[in-house]
Amino acid sequence: MQMSAWWAVIGLFLIAATAALIYAQAILMPVVLSFMLALTFSPVRRAAEKVGIPSGITAALIVTGLFALVVALIVTLSQPVRSYMTEAPQLLQEAQDKLSAVSSTMESVAEAGEEIEEVTNGAAEETQTVVIKEPNPITKLATTAPRVMAQVVLVLVLLFFILASGDMFYEKIVHSIGTFKDKRRAVQIFRDIEAKLSRYFFIITVINAGLGVAIGTAMWLLGMPNPLLFGVIAFIFNFVPYVGAISGVFISFAVGLLTFDTVTQAALAGFIYFFLTSFEGQFVTPYAVGKRLKLNTVVVFLAVAFWGWLWSVIGMIVAMPLLIALRVFSEHVPPLRGLGDFLSARHAERDDKAEEKEQDSAPATGDMVPAE
């Protein structure tokens, strides 16, 4: 009975935590993203401190660089996206005409839908139809942009203060822990999470940049419009596992359908996008990331789906870093090592033994651990 009550409390806590994540997403999303970026750039800030560069200057440079990157992406994407959204009704009609010309099944479904509509209208002739006119995509974008920019500014400002404060957060957490052994373990956990996240984001960013160049070049050779746009889309979308690649394939096929005369040419554009992302996902990323950052693919997919449901695109982006941080944390806490093995890829725990032995024999790094 006590065990049942314990699991009931855990279940209620998880439900309440999920509800809180949904309800407070406007503030939690930028805060979580800021801390993820702070963990990623902390090694850079710490290396700059060793050569005499203050944390405030390093933080300002990092935030300025990220802001410049955001502005560059907005400038690159704004004109093509605005053009596509303005011509969306006409483009959708053209795409429907091309698909209906080669798909008799779709025509049959459309005819069946019309017959159902006629029967429905005949059965309820006196029913008054109310048409709700929704705002056009440009209006939606204009109303959403200020909120998105406010969250971007919040992320960058909070990131600046976290980086400029140096190791203050780590020191506060360490000082609140009792024994020297626990302090040492806490430092190891933080430093290991920093190292893993920094390596992950650096490798993934380089790979995504190369993938963007490859896809942009391929689309240019195919004669697709705005090949630079496809390169930027590939670069951004590939930060989201699985969903990003599928979305890119769909966009390539849709734009190809509007650009070329035949569906075959449009399918070729989607296939090339699929081939390049599949090659990157199956060969390039596993080789570059290495076994220490490999995760259970089923868990990754479920995490992306769950966080995407919670926080949309931002949730899908932070899903992988959160999994990496959770796995690193579980590796350092003996009761949670089973969870770490579950989160890792197949046989990855065998590759961790040598590194764990080195960590156990090595002295704790950093100056934040006080002597007993």
pLDDT in tens, 100-153: 655 554 455 456 556 555 655 554 444 454 545 555 555 555 566 677 788 888
| Helix axes 263-279 and 243-259, enclosed angle (nearest 10) | 150
Q: Over pLDDT 90: what percentage of the chain?
A: 15
Residue 61 pLDDT: 94
Which residues are within 8 A (CB) of 372 and not within 5 positions of it... i.e. 6 or more apart? 180
Instruction: With cut-offs at 50, 70 and 90, classify the pLDDT of residue 372.
Output: very low
- How many other CB atoms sit within 10 Å of the CB of residue 220? 15
Percent of the chain whose predicted confidence (pLDDT) is above 70: 73
Could you tell me which of 192, 189, 207 has the C-alpha nearest to residue 43?
192
Contact 194, 47 (CB under 8 A): no
Angstrom distance (rounded) from CA 295 to CA 201: 15
Stretch 302-317: mean pLDDT, rounded? 87
Residues in the chain: 372
Structural element, H or E, at residue 280: none
Contact 304, 240 (CB under 8 A): yes
With cut-offs at 50, 70 and 90, classify the pLDDT of residue 220: very high
Q: What is the pLDDT of residue 64?
A: 94
| Helical packing angle, 243-259 and 227-237, nearest 10° | 160
The confidence band for 71, taking pLDDT boundaries of 50, 70 and 90, is confident
Task: Give pTM, 2 decimals.
Answer: 0.73
Beta carbons of 237 and 247 less than 8 angstroms apart? yes
Closest-CA residue to 210 (of 236, 237, 235):
235
CA dihedral for 277, 279, 283, 287, sign (positive or negative): negative
Write the pLDDT tens digit of every residue in 86-108: 665 665 666 666 666 555 544 55
User: Cβ distance 84 to 254 under 8 Å?
Assistant: no
What distances in angstroms separate CA 131 from CA 89, 134, 270, one per listed residue? Answer: 18, 9, 36
Arithmetic mean of pLDDT, 71-94: 71
